[in-house]
Amino acid sequence: MFDVRKILGMAGEREAVRFLKKNGCRIIETNYRNRLGEIDVIALDGDVIVFAEVKTREKGGPVSPKEAVTLRKQRKMVKVAESWLKEMKKTGSRARFDVIAILSENNDKRIEWVKHAFHT
């Protein structure tokens, strides 16, 4: 048996990676996990490290993709990002948190890149 939400999310993450590359980013890692949690995409936008959460939703759902990145999720992302920066010895680097919001309707997808979606 398969989980439709998981398939939709995985497809959204692939779409987000293509979108970021098309918009000049270099992908460092996808689905980075450690004991603290996960970050969907880590990329470079110029000299800025981007920690991106990808949210994909079907049109007409109860919560928009952007609204799905709760304060709890933001706090978790910050902890994971801090851990990644330490592990990679990049604690002095410029970084930001973005959301890639994908709204799907049939085969059409609308992608919104929310830069600086939240701050630490």
* Residue ranges per structural domain of the chain: 4-118
Burial of residue 64, with CB atoms counted within 10 A of its CB: 0-12 exposed, 13-18 middle, 19 or more buried: middle
pLDDT over 90 (residue 109): no
Max alpha carbon distance in the chain (Å)? 45
Band (11; pLDDT cuts 50, 70, 90):
confident
Question: How far, CA to CA in Å, does 52 sit from each of 43, 62, 66?
Answer: 8, 22, 12
List, for residues 18-29, the tens digit of each pLDDT value. Answer: 999 999 999 999
Residue 1: per-residue pLDDT = 44
Question: How far, CA to CA in Å, does 94 sit from each of 8, 46, 49, 116?
Answer: 31, 10, 6, 12
Does the domain made of 4-118 have the CATH classification 3.40.1350.10?
yes
User: What does the pLDDT average to over 37-50?
Assistant: 97
